[in-house]
Amino acid sequence: MPDFQIKRIYDRAEASDGFRVLADRLWPRGVKKDAARIDLWAKELTPTDGLRQDYHSGRVTWPDFESGYRAELATNPAVDDFLVTVQDQKTVTLLFAAKDTEHTHAKVLMDVLGQR
């Protein structure tokens, strides 16, 4: 099982990133696809549009968002498929675009993947 880490996609790519996975449903603004240096775009691992929009609009708090996202991941078959895809990687970096590095779905995803 790989070591998982998170990083903003706007930060410079480094060799220590290992296998780079964009873990955002939407392509990040201002990032050219050929310059992103991603190995995989894992849209299917991101929060549903409804949950994401509820959080960003303020209809749900961070704890409610986190709980809802964990519930989504618990029943999402793409999680197991993803783990099979990356099982031979030493390091997997989950890339996200949000400015807030504490309240990001990527942090929740990293935790869930590390627990499986």
Q: How does pLDDT run across 45-63, given as a tens digit for each residue?
A: 999 999 999 999 999 999 9
Per-residue CA distances from 9 to 31, 57, 60, 80, 97 (Å): 8, 23, 26, 24, 6
The helix (H) or strand (E) run that includes residue 54 is helix 49-57
Quick one: pLDDT at residue 85?
97
pTM over the 0.85 mark:
yes
Quick one: pLDDT at residue 18?
98
Quick one: pLDDT at residue 1?
85
Number of domains forming the structure of the chain: 1
Strand partners, 41: 22
Is the pLDDT assigned to residue 7 strictly greater than 90?
Answer: yes
- CA 115 – CA 48 distance, rounded (Å): 21
Tokens of 104: 């990001």
- Domain housing 63: 3-115
